[in-house]
């Protein structure tokens, strides 16, 4: 990860420390949701899948693979470093072409992780709906902008009747449901 600009070295150090912490947080939260034997690619794809599911995301699933595939060596390196910092025992298995890992995580921890991610997903979707509602009334054309953005990311389009345009909050609720049913959110 590169930092393009920081006003001084102290700020740069704080930002880089936060970025490192985010990798550790991601790893700790995603690790109980992958199988006991996994690769860095599997860990990051699963973690990104869980993160994207925690919101009303319009991106197509293949985007998660593209994120890892854009910098596989980076993700391999940070995964190896992160495995030393997680609280679960993880064995590193060096292969000829890629590194694999074996994590010893109890079924109780995995169960709590499933519950936590379910709660995080419910909370994230609710916040996403509230943000959509707010956006419809924040600026003129907000409804059209949101629909354009969802269409651009998911390919799903819906029409807005004139009566709904007169009531943006009602429109947001109705259109959110229509988009959800047509696969506009994942």
Residues 116 and 73 in one domain: no
In this predicted structure, the answer to whether residue 36 has a pLDDT above a threshold of 80 is yes
Residues 99 and 126 in one domain: no
Residues 35 and 114 in one domain: no
How much is the pLDDT for 153?
A: 75
Look up residue 155 and give its DSSP letter. -
Q: Which of 83, 105, 127 is the last residue of a domain?
A: 105
Residues 63 and 19 in one domain: yes
Residue with tokens 């007169």: 166
How much is the pLDDT for 58?
A: 57
Q: Which two tokens stand for residue 174?
A: 């109705």
In this predicted structure, the answer to whether residue 140 has a pLDDT above a threshold of 60 is yes
Residue range 54-66: average pLDDT? 73
Q: Could you give the number of structural domains in the chain?
A: 2
Residues 14 and 63 in one domain: yes
Closest by Cα among 140, 122, 142, 129 to 174: 129
Average pLDDT, the chain: 87
Residues 101 and 111 in one domain: no
pLDDT in tens, 82-105: 999 999 999 999 877 889 999 999
How much is the pLDDT for 101?
A: 97
Q: What percentage of the chain has pLDDT greater than the value 90?
A: 47
Q: Which of 72, 105, 138 is the last residue of a domain?
A: 105
Q: Which of 73, 105, 137 is the last residue of a domain?
A: 105
Residues 87 and 29 in one domain: yes
Residues 80 and 112 in one domain: no
Dihedral sign, CA of 9, 12, 18, 23?
negative
In which domain, by residue range, is 80 found?
1-105
Residues 44 and 114 in one domain: no
Residues 26 and 93 in one domain: yes
pTM: 0.79
Residue range 72-76: average pLDDT? 93
Q: What percentage of the chain has pLDDT greater than the value 70?
A: 96
pLDDT in tens, 124-139: 888 877 887 787 777 7
Residues 92 and 69 in one domain: yes
Q: Which two tokens stand for residue 159?
A: 């029409």
């Amino acid at each position: 990860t590169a930092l393009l600009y920081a006003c001084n070295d102290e700020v740069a150090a704080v930002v880089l420390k936060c970025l490192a912490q985010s990798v550790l947080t991601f790893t700790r939260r995603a690790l109980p949701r992958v199988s006991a034997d996994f690769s860095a690619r599997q860990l990051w794809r699963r973690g990104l899948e869980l993160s994207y599911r925690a919101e009303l995301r319009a991106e197509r699933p293949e985007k998660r693979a593209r994120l890892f595939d854009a910098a596989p060596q980076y993700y391999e390196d940070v995964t190896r470093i992160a495995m030393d910092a997680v609280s679960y025992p993880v064995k590193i298995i060096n292969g000829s072409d890629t590194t694999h890992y074996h994590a010893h995580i109890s079924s109780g921890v995995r169960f709590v992780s499933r519950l936590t991610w379910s709660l995080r997903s419910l909370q994230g979707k609710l916040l996403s709906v509230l943000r959509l509602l707010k956006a419809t009334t924040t600026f003129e054309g907000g409804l059209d902008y949101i629909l354009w953005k969802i269409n651009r990311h998911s390919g799903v389009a819906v029409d807005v009747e004139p009566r709904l345009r007169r009531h943006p909050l009602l429109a947001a609720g109705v259109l959110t449901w229509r988009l959800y049913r047509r696969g506009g959110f994942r």
